[in-house]
Every structure is written in C-alpha cells, then in structure tokens.
Structure 1
Amino acid sequence: MLSEFLHAHTRLAPVPFVPEIALWQAEEPIALWEATEAGGSSQPPPFWAFAWAGGQALARHVLDDPDLVAGRSVLDLATGSGLVAVAAARAGATPVTANDIDPFSLAAAAANATANGVEVRTVEADLLDSDEKYGVVLAGDVFYSREMAGRVLPFLRRAAGRGSLVLVGDPGRAYLPEGLIRRAVYEVPVSEALESVAIRRTTVWQVT
C-alpha cells in the first residue's frame, strides 16, 4: 500500500541542488497534501515527497566533502525522503540509518535508496530520548516548530557530547537555536508552492 501510494503520487526526478541524486518527488505539492489528508486525520503531512532546502544543503555538503562521513556510521534524523541518507551512502558512509516516525517516509527513503543504488537501513521510531552512538548525525529542516526544536536540540547536543559530528541544514526556520557553528552557506532551489520563494539561502551548521 505504501509503495503504491508513493508511486501513484510522485515521479523519479533529479534533486535541483544535488542533480546526481534522483528522488521520488511530488509534481503537485498541494494535490498530494490533500490526498494524504484524505487518508485520515492521523496521517502525517507528506514531508517525504519533497526535497527540502535543509536536506539539499546537507546532501550537497557531504557529497562535496565525503571525508566528513566516509567509513563512518551515519544517522539521518527525521529523514523525510531519505535524501541526506542517500547522499551519505553515496559519499561512503556505512552503515547509514534513515530514521523517521512516518512509515510513508521510510518507504520513500527505501525506494530512493534503491533508485540510487545505495544501501540504507530504515528505522521507524522516536529516537530523541535514545543514546545510541553514531559517527555522524545529520538533520535537515528540523527546527520548523517550537515543540520539534525543543526535543531535537538536546538530542543533537548529547550526540555531539558523545563525540559524534553533528550537522544540521537549515534555511532560517523560526526555531533555529543560537550557538551553532556555521560550516557552509548555499543558495538552494526550492518549490515555490511550498516556500513562497524560488531560492532559499540555507546554512549547514555544526552542533557542539
């Protein structure tokens, strides 16, 4: 069912800022959002069907500097489409874990990993109270709400405290915390239907 829904509402296309990676993406964002909501009030929004700015920036960053992740275990937190996980795997990370609480997201991440010929492990769980150690923790666009930011930041700081390299991609969302280290800035093409602009200036930050 998940796979059928995914393929019925998306098409495989290159990611604008990371064209060497192709994702199953929605052509009509609003139509997909409505189709998802029609499935019941408990269904999360289809974040998995879009290449969000933070994820695109992180993917570009690790592909351009593969030594950041090569040969290291990687967690892609709140993976969405799996874009960042796929990029990490392409850059030589192993093993790569794509995590989300939405089963549609993990179906998309698995389909996108297959489409790009890489191996990604998927984990459907809320990991924000866990303490498993990874070599690198990557998180794109996770500071979009006060509640999410309030739970994600302590997890990321604990991971950094255990020695993980922790990088986040953020296009200036409302709840981006202070005190992060700027690693890179990109001008990222985005869906105007979702973002109201065609380009988002997006920063890759390191959490310490």
Structure 2
Amino acid sequence: MYRRTILCFRGQDTLNAFQRGMCCLMRRYVSVRSEHDIKNFIRDNTEIVSAQSLTPEISLRLFTPTCRFWTERPESWPFPDPYWAIYWPGGQALARYLLNNPEVSGGRKVLDLGCGCGASAIAAKLTGASRVVANDIDPIAAVATKMNCELNNLDPLPCVTDNIIGSKPDDWDLILLGDMFYDEDLADHLHKWLQTCITTHGTQVLIGDPGRAQFEGHDIRKLLHKLSRFELPDSVKDENYGLTNSTVWCYNYKPDL
C-alpha cells in the first residue's frame, strides 16, 4: 500500500530529511498544475474524515481504504510524498490539547510548522488565535490545508511554503510542531532554530510526538515538560505500527541572561 509506504518512510531514519525534501521538490508534476486542478485532484483522491481520530470535531481530507492511492504503487503518485493526506498521531495530540485548552492559543499569534493537513492550525483558529500561519515546504499541503479550513467553516489560513527553519524568526507567541522529529538531522536543525525563537521573542513551543525513536533519543527531550498524554484510537494504533499514545510537550529552554 502506498499509505503504508509513507508511514514506513516517515518512521525510519533512512534518508537525510533535506535530501528527501529536495528529491520531492525535484519530482515533476505529471498532469496537474494549477491550484484549481490540484484542488480537484485532492477531492478525487481523498475522503472527508472526522471520526476515528482524537479530534472528531475537525473534518479533514485524508487517505482512506476507499481511495485510489491507498493501494497504488508509489511511483504513480504525481506529487511529493503526501504526508498531508495522513493525520499523524503527534498532530492529533496537539490539536486535541488546543481544543481542550483554548486559552493556550486564544488571542495569540500561532505558527503551525510542518502543518501537513493543517489540523493544528485549524484547532488554533477554532480556539480563538488572533493570527495563524501554516507552514509546509510541500505546496500541495498548503492547498490541502486551505481546503480543510473550508471544511471546518473557516476562511483559508495563510500558508507559507518556504523552509523557514534557520531563518530569522518572526515574533510568534506560539509555535506548534506535530510529528516533526522523524529524522536526526532535521531534529538538530529544529532544536537550534527553536532556541533562537525562544531567545529572541520568548515564543512558547509545543511539540506533539507519539514516541518515535529519533525524538526520544534526542537531546531536546531533556528540555521538555510533558503537558498531556492521549491514548490513540484503535484505528490510529493499527495504522502506526502499535504506537499506543501521543504526548504534547512544552519546550522549557531558558536562555542565559
């Protein structure tokens, strides 16, 4: 299954994350070019899902067994690997935490880094964030995020497709990262950049992760405080190779004064 291939790819440290990203960006679009065509392609090859996740309040366009590319060979997919078509367990925990605790994002400027399907960004907006920006280097994820906003009766959120990790940080009140620590090199770059965000603007950083080895073994774990842990629905457990729960962590990095 193509979906299972993506799950394996995201869960293993098989290639440098930046090499993967460059390979994805270099892949040619086969027959779909305009945003209108991309939207039609997404509509035709995903299903609207709301149940069987930690956030049944949020509807998303995702891969399901009824979708063509659930069983298609990976090389038949015309875009970069569609991480946006899967609701990853770290993102589920983050979105659930925001919905349970609306004061965390209410009235704040929020960045959803590596937004994928946009669920965390949507949760932030639903709970009253004053400004939400979704970021993903995959332009198809940006289109999918806008479509998912519309599914949830929200105006499309601004989506940035530049790689902003390592750039001069904006004055975000809150940065959300779901399932971003799947590669050691990427984790190193994230760690350094997040410290810069906190040092420069006092940004709060929340991380959602189901316990991947690359996250649990990284130095960043020493600087995190557990906020909440959620047991995953049975279907999510089955799809994620037996992972049973997902945790939301708060970055406690305190710069030297």
Identity %: 34
Query: Which residue of the other structure, out of 60, 65, 75, is the alignment partner of 1:23?
Result: 60
**TM-score normalized by the length of structure 2:** 0.74
2: distance between equivalents of 1:127 and 1:117? 28
Query: Which residue of the other structure, out of 120, 136, 140, is the alignment partner of 2:174?
Result: 136
On the 8 A contact 1:37/1:45 being kept in 2, the answer is: no
1: distance between equivalents of 2:238 and 2:150? 28
Greater percentage in strand:
1
- Is the counterpart of residue 195 in structure 1 residue 240 in structure 2? yes
Structure 1, residues 130-176: CA drift from partner, whole Å, max 9, x if none?
Answer: 21121100000000111221222222222222211100000011221
- Could you say if the C-alpha distance between residues 30 and 150 of structure 1 is closer, same or farther in structure 2, counting changes exceeding 3 Å? farther
| Cα offset, 1:13, TM superposition | 1.5
1: distance between equivalents of 2:203 and 2:237? 34
Work out which of the two has the higher radius of gyration on C-alpha atoms and give 1 or 2: 2
Aligned to 2:98: 62
Aligned to 2:163: 126
* Structure 2: stretches of 5+ with no match in the other structure: 1-36
- Could you say if the C-alpha distance between residues 193 and 143 of structure 1 is closer, same or farther in structure 2, counting changes exceeding 3 Å? same
- 1:137 alignment partner AA: I
* Structure 1: stretches of 5+ with no match in the other structure: none
Structure 1, residues 25-45: CA drift from partner, whole Å, max 9, x if none?
Answer: 1113893484663245xx421
Aligned to 1:168: 207
1: distance between equivalents of 2:57 and 2:226? 25
- SS of equivalent to 1:186: strand
- 2:162 alignment partner AA: A
- 2:173 alignment partner AA: G
Query: Which residue of the other structure, out of 188, 195, 205, is the alignment partner of 1:157?
Result: 195
Aligned to 2:113: 77
Greater percentage in helix:
2
**TM-score normalized by the length of structure 1:** 0.91
2: distance between equivalents of 1:97 and 1:124? 11
- 1:3 alignment partner AA: K
Structure 1, residues 72-125: CA drift from partner, whole Å, max 9, x if none?
Answer: 110000000000000000000121000000011111100001111123211111
- SS of equivalent to 2:244: strand
On the 8 A contact 1:75/1:97 being kept in 2, the answer is: yes
Aligned to 1:2: 38
- 1:166 alignment partner AA: V
1: distance between equivalents of 2:181 and 2:87? 16
Aligned to 2:76: 38
On the 8 A contact 1:58/1:140 being kept in 2, the answer is: yes
Aligned to 1:183: 227
- How many equivalent residue pairs? 205
Give the superposed CA RMSD.
Answer: 2.0
